[in-house]
Structure 1
Amino acid sequence: MYANVQYPDNRKYFLYNAVHKNVTLLTVAKKQVHRPFMGRPVKFDKEKALDAAMDLFWEHGFEAATISDLSDAMGITRSSFYNSFESREKLFEDVLNHYSNAAPDNFLNFIKPGDPVLPAIKKLFDDISTVRTGAPTARGCLLINCLGELSDSTKELSLVRIKFDAKLKRFEELLEQAKQQHELPKDFDSGTAARELLTFLVGINMTSKVIRDEETLSNLSHSFLKTHGLLAQPTSLET
């Protein structure tokens, strides 16, 4: 049988074993109530903050954009930066998603079966010509700029490659849809054409940093599409 002897300070107990005459000292720490720190909620427009970070990455590149630069551009403190975005790398990922959602080719993701494909592809390159030449500075495409800046082993470059893999996959899906809808011949090589479209997409965005004339860029795009059998007549998509 066991008998407990309690010390007055309520912190130490002796457990006495009446059979074996052993005494064990047990120390019990007082329980402490931990209250979580309740900081002030971070109040800022996240969309505007992402726009500001995107502009900074676009202008200076990922490597040159420091957390201090980013915090200043977004108008937030360093603590708010870490609370909201965790790290510069995580912010970059958020910016890439933010940019992709507003990029000229994003509408391709919403083309449904039965929608005409070739007019949409023509519209894409016309939109690129309009957007790139209409920008106040010749900065091209953020994703494509990152391809030239980031080293091969970085996680950030992997994120950019994922975006381009998605573009390639979408091009091929749409070209297959165009074949099923009799916009293209049954023996049309969708895989090769998709890679050619992606290559031209990169090229026309780079060219827009040098040639700042919308009509010239559009004519280049139309010539490319015609050569590859992808040029469609104008439709309501272009209005």
Structure 2
Amino acid sequence: MGRPKQFDPDAAVEHAMNVFWRKGYAATTPQDLVDAIGIGKGSLYNTFGSKHALFELALRRYRDSQAVALIEMFEEPGPVKVRLRRTLRLLAEMDLADPDRRGCMAVNTAAELAGTDQVATELVQHMFARTEDAFCALIEEGQRSEEIAPERDPAAWGSLLLNTVVGLRLMARVAETPDRLARVIDATVDSL
């Protein structure tokens, strides 16, 4: 009979997610992971198999938590444009307030691994598709409430809003002040 695990694998994935999010996949060493989780390398490999397998779990954790958070922000009461502006501002504020300026783990992963890591690429594509679908649904809701013009193509605007978020989250990593981000957010929402 083997020894029972002395750590919570679910908490370990959360800790690993934060390390990968801050440092990126390539720059994260197995030692970084065991230090963050508080386990030995043997336990890391016995439980998760490899650094990449743990990265996949961490990226899935990020995907699931971010999708839920975005949908919850969109489901708050109020006019669509107000909710959209509030959501975009909140994302920018969170990124700017982060002392590590991690940005978005999905955007970071796309920049680092797209085209070289099929699994990571597919996970990011799935995250982006879910976000785009959520924006599309929000545009359609705004059209039903007559807040957004009916001639706006919800799919096109969903794609544009996804692209705006990707750009905002990347810009927030290096922004000195929130001014530029605020201008992008206001111009985007006002153009609807």
TM-score (norm 1): 0.69
Kept after mapping to 1: 8 A contact 2:95/2:101: yes
Distance in 1 between residues matched to 2:104 and 2:75, nearest whole Å:
26
CA distance in 2, matches of 1:61, 1:67: 13
Give the equivalent residue in structure 2 for 1:212. Answer: 176
Distance across 2 between alignment mates of 1:211 and 1:192? 27
Pick closer, same or farther for the CA change 1:174–1:202 going to 2, 3 Å.
same
Contact 2:76 2:83 in 1 (8 A): no
Shift of 1:143: 1.1
- The superposition leaves residues 126-155 of structure 1 with CA deviations (integer Å, 9 ceiling, x where unpaired) of 111211111112332211111111140422
Q: For residue 107 of structure 1, report the CA deviation from its aligned partner.
A: 3.0
* Counterpart in the other structure of 1:196: 160
2:99 corresponds in structure 1 to 136
Given candidates 41, 63, 66, the residue that maps to 1:100 is 63
Aligned pair in 2 of structure 1 residues 39, 117: CA closer, same or farther (>3 Å)?
farther
Q: In 2, distance between residues paired with 1:179 and 1:41? A: 56
Please say if 1:75 is aligned against 2:38: yes
Cα shift readout 1:105-137 (whole Å, capped 9, x = no counterpart):
643324459864322211111111211111112
Q: 1:159 to 1:100 in 2, by over 3 A?
A: closer
CA distance in 1, matches of 2:114, 2:28: 15
Whichever residue aligns with residue 218 of structure 1, its letter is: A
- How many residues end up aligned between the 2 structures? 190
Q: Alpha-carbon deviation of 1:77?
A: 2.0
2:29 — aligned with what?
Answer: 66
User: Contact (CA 8 Å) 1:89, 1:156: kept in 2 or not?
Assistant: no
Q: Does 1:179 align with 2:143?
A: yes
Give the number of the structure whose residues are more often strand, by fraction: 1
| Corresponding residue SS for 1:71 | helix
The residue number in structure 1 matching 2:81 is 118
Q: Higher helix fraction: Structure 1 or Structure 2?
A: 2
Gaps of at least 5 residues in structure 1 are 1-37, 230-239
Quick check: which has more Rg, 1 or 2? 1
Alpha carbons 2:115, 2:121 under 8 Å: kept = yes
Give a deviation string over 1:18-47, Cα, whole Å, max 9, x none. xxxxxxxxxxxxxxxxxxxx2122132445
1:177, CA displacement in angstroms?
Answer: 2.0
Q: Which runs of 5+ in 2 are unaligned?
A: none
- What is the root-mean-square deviation in Å for CA atoms of aligned residues? 2.5
In the superposition, relative to structure 1, how do residues 216 and 64 fare at CA in structure 2: closer, same or farther (>3 Å)? closer
Higher relative contact order (CA 8 A, sep 6+): 2
TM-score by length of 2: 0.84
